[in-house]
Amino acid sequence: MLSFLGVLAVLAGATPDTLVVPVQEVVVTASRVAEPLLHTPAAVTVIPRATFESTRTISLRDALAGVPGVFVQSRSGAQDVRITIRGYGARGNGERSNAGNLRGIRVLTDGVPITEPDGRTSLDLADLASIDRIEVLRSNVSSLYGNASGGVVNLRTDLEFERPYFEYGQRAGAFGFHREQGATGFTLGEARGLAVISNTTLEGWREHSSSTTAQGRVRLSAPIDPRTRLGVLLDAVNDLNRFPGALTQAQLDSAPQQANPKFVARDERRHNRVARAGLTLDRAWSDANALALMVFVEPKLLQRSERNRFRDFTRVHAGGSAVWSGTARPSPTLELRTRAGADESNQDGAILFYNLGPGGTRSSTLFANKREGANGAGAFLEEELTWNERWSARGAVRYDDIRYVAEDFIDPTLDATRRFTHVTPKGSVAWRNDRHMIFAALGGGVEVPAFNEIDPPPPFDTLTSLNPFLDAVESTTLEIGARGSTVATGGSTLRYDAAVYQIDIRNDLVPFDGGAYFLTAGRSRRRGFELGLDWLPIATVTIGGTLTLTDNTYLEYPGDLGDFANHDIAGLPKMVGTTHVGWTAPWSLSADLGVESIGPYFANDANTAEVDAVTLVNATARWKHAFGQCSLSAFVSGTNLTDQAYVASVFINGINREYFEPGLPRSASAGAQLSWR
C-alpha cells in the first residue's frame, strides 16, 4: 500500500504536510515491533518518499514540517533543525545546543539509534538521501524506548526492489545551495543492497551560516534461510556547519541578515566526522515466534568552537538490542501477543577544551581534560490481548538504568558518577474495524538530564563534575485518538488522524544563573489537539491540512530568574496549521500550493519576549516522464513566496536578550534526477 501512498502524494503534488494515510496494509516499526498501522494504538504518522523528494532534502524539516503535533524549525536553513514533539525537545535550543543536539526524542535509521544514551541526538546521520519513508510516533513510548520519552522518528530504507537500478540527482537554489547525489540498488542473488553518496553545500543567507556535508551509506538485506534475514548498515559523514547566532529585537528589525558579532569573532562552528556500522538479524521460528537482534558501533571525532572554548571530543557510541515476539491463540476469538526485550548503549570518550585563539582557532592553552561516559540499559515486557478481531488491550512495563561517569584528569578530586533508575508503565485499549481505529492510552515516561545540562553550579564546581541537584524528569501521558478513512459515493476518499492528549511533567528542568545551569524542581502541563485530513475528491485533485492546538504551562517554576508559575512554556506556539492543494495536469505535470501558519509564542520563560505569528506560502511544480528503462524527473519549488520577515527559531532564555534567529526570505530551488531500472 505504500506504493499507493507514493502515487497519491505525486498526484497531489504533495507538500510536507501530506501525512497519515491510515490503511491496514501499511506496516510500521516505530513501536519497535512490525505491525499494521491500523493496529497501532498510538499517534503515528507515515511519510512516504514522494512527500519530500521534490524538496532540497537538506534537513528533516523538508519531510517533517506539517506533521500534527510536531513543530520543526530550521535554525539557518541548513542541516540543523529544532524538532519538538508535543513539547518534548523545546529546551534543545540556545547557546548550549549550538552544536545541533536534539533533546528528548529518539531518532533511528533503519532501526538503529543515533540518539545517545543521555537522550541527545545529533542529526549528522539523519539524511534523506536514501530514505523511502519516515515513521513518526508522537506518543509517549518510554516503555519501549527508555530515556527519550517524547516520541520516535524512524527513517526507513526500501530494500524490496525487484531489479537493480541507478539514480543521479542534482539540486540547486538560492543562497549558494547545491546538492549532488548518486544511488545504486544492487542484487546479490536474493540479497538486496543500496549504496548512496551525496554532497551538499549551502553558503547561507545570513552572515556566517555556511554548511557543507559529504555522506555515504550502504544498506544490505540478505536471507540466510527462508526464516532468517541478515541486515548490514554502514554510514560515514563529514560535515562542517557555521552558526550565525541569535539577535536582539533591535538587530532583527534593522538587519536580520547579520550574524551575532560574538559568533563571528569566535568563528562558532561544528566539524563532525562520524562513522557507523550495524548488524541486524531477524529470525522467525514460526508464524508465532520471532527474534530481532541488533548491534552497532559508532566512532566520532567532533570539533567545535562554542561558548568561548575550542572543544575536541573523541567518542565511541556502541550498543545493541534483542526483542522477542510471540503469539498464542487460547481460543478462536482470542489472541495473546507477548513482546519482551532488552537494550544497551554506551558512549565514552575523551574531551579536551582549549581556550580560543584569534578568529576562533584552537590555542595551546588546555582548559579541561576529561572523560565523559554514559551508559543506558533497559528491559521491557509488553502483553497484548485481542478479542473478536476488534478489541485489544495492551500493558507494558520498562526498567531503565542510566549511569554517568566523569573523570577529570587535571583535578581528580572532581571525579563523579551518577545513576538514574526508573520503572515506567504503559497501557492502552483500542477498537478497530477494516477502516477505523479508536484508542486510549495511559503511559509513564522518564528522561534524564543530558551531559550538557549536568554541569554543577558554583561553588559545587570545585567539588564535583556532575550536578548533584538534578533528578530524572518524570511524565504521565493520557491520550485518546482515532484514525481511519471513508469512501463516499462517487469514489472520493477522506482520511483522518486525530488525537487529544494531556502530559503532566514532574521534576521539569529549570534554568538558573542566567541559564548557565539547571535544576529539576518544576512542574508543567501540556495539553493538545491534533488533526490531520487528506481529501481526494477526484483522481487529479487532493485537498488536505493539519491543525495542532496546544496549551503548555508551567505549574511550578522556582529559580533565580523568577517565579514563573502559570507562565507559558517558551518555544511552543499555541497553534500550528497547514493546508495544501495539489493538482495533476496532463503531460506528466503536477503542482501544489501549500500554506503554513504558526501562532505567536514566547522566547523566554518570563514571557516578556514574544515571537510574532507568521503565515508562509510555498509552491512546487514537477514533471516526470519515462523513456523505456530510463526516467527523468524535475521540479521547481518556491518557499516564502510572499517574502515574509519572520523568526525561524529562538535561543530560549537567550543571554543579553539575544533570542531571535531570522527565517529565510523568498527563495527558490530546482532539481532534476535521472533514473535507470
Smallest Cα–Cα separation from 29: which of 187, 145, 196, 183? 145
The C-alpha cell that represents 394 in the structure block:
495492551
Q: Is 318 helix (H, G, I), strand (E, B) or coil?
A: strand
pLDDT given for residue 102 in this prediction: 81
SS3 state at 62: helix
C-beta separation of 295 from 113 below 8 A: no
State the pLDDT at residue 2.
34
The CA distance from 478 to 502, in Å, is: 5
What cell numbers appear for 569 in the block?
Answer: 512554556
Q: Are 597 and 614 in contact (CB under 8 A)?
A: yes
> What is the CATH number for 356?
2.40.170.20
For residue 459, is the peptide bond before it cis, meaning its omega torsion is within 30 degrees of 0?
yes
Q: How many domains does the chain have?
A: 1
Segment-wise mean pLDDT, segments of 10 residues, the chain, 677 residues: 35 38 58 77 90 90 91 84 88 54 86 91 88 89 67 92 95 96 95 97 95 96 95 97 94 96 93 97 92 97 91 96 94 94 95 92 93 94 94 94 95 94 92 94 87 85 89 92 88 92 91 75 94 92 95 90 90 95 91 96 94 97 92 96 95 89 96 94
Q: Which residues, at least 6 apart from 332, have a Cβ–Cβ distance to it below 8 Å?
A: none
Q: Which helix (H) or strand (E) holds 6?
A: helix 2-11
CB neighbours of residue 214 within 10 Å: 16
Q: Considering only CA atoms, which of 248, 295, 257, 253 is closest in space to residue 276?
A: 295
For residue 170, the enclosing domain spans 2-676
